[in-house]
């Protein structure tokens, strides 16, 4: 009986570990059971985890002494946009829309894109789209993990809106880069966060 209880406890701990890491269990081969993806990261109303990452913009790579630190932007609305990879179709469409509609979508908010790409890649990507915001490099997906946005090889496409107090007021864990309604919802969320 003791060994059965111990085995059940080990299973529960393993399942909890998967939840904490935002991973999903894979079905056995040939299984037709649906697989649920367990998401983690801060929810609406939670304090946004602080982080520090290097950045690049369309015209430069930031000096190490001037890394992006989330905590420095308390008092402003901040938008974090995790995305898979520079120069891919969906990511280009998303970042291009952000750049072209920047004032309309974001107003005075601080906006950053975050992926695992290098700073050199980020600078080329930002320059190719003339982006008016910084792209942050998270090569080991350390920050993506904090926000439940990590993927197998690169971050998943997610968006977080953080209010002036540093709380998450909106999150979209499957942002649709090619879905016009995703941008409308994001715009409304930024406006709501700005109003307090």
Q: What is the pLDDT of residues 127-179, one digit of tens each?
A: 999 999 999 999 999 999 999 999 999 999 999 999 999 999 999 999 999 99
| pTM of structure | 0.81
Residue 49 to residue 71: CA distance in whole angstroms: 9
- % of the chain surpassing 70 pLDDT: 80
What local confidence, expressed as pLDDT, does residue 5 receive? 35
Residue 53 to residue 62: CA distance in whole angstroms: 10
Please pick, among 91, 105, 116, 193, the residue that the annotation labels catalytic.
Answer: 91
Whether the pLDDT of residue 8 is over 80: the answer is no
Write down the mean pLDDT value for the chain.
86
Q: Homologous superfamily of 42-195 in CATH? A: Glutaredoxin (3.40.30.10)
Let me know if 61 is exposed, middle or buried by CB neighbors in 10 A (0-12, 13-18, 19+).
middle
What local confidence, expressed as pLDDT, does residue 64 receive? 82
What local confidence, expressed as pLDDT, does residue 39 receive? 61
- Per the annotation, the verdict on 91 as an active-site residue is yes
Domain boundaries, the chain: 1-38, 42-195
């Amino acid at each position: 009986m003791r060994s059965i209880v111990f085995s059940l406890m080990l299973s529960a701990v393993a399942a909890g570990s998967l939840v904490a890491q935002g991973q999903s269990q894979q079905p056995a081969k040939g299984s037709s059971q649906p697989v649920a993806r367990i998401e983690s990261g801060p929810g609406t109303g939670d304090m946004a985890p602080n982080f520090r990452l290097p950045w690049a913009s369309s015209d430069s790579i930031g000096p190490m002494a001037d890394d992006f630190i989330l905590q420095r932007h308390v008092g402003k609305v901040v938008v974090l946009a995790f995305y898979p990879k520079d120069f891919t179709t969906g990511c280009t469409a998303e970042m291009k829309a952000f750049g072209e509609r920047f004032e309309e979508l974001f107003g005075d908010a601080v906006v950053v894109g975050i992926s695992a790409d290098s700073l050199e890649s980020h600078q080329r990507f930002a320059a190719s789209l003339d982006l008016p915001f910084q792209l942050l490099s998270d090569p080991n997906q350390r920050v993506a993990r904090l926000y439940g946005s990590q993927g197998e090889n690169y971050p998943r496409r997610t968006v977080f809106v953080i209010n002036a107090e540093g709380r998450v007021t909106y999150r979209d864990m499957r942002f649709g880069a090619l879905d016009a309604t995703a941008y409308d919802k994001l715009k409304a969320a930024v406006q709501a966060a700005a109003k307090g």
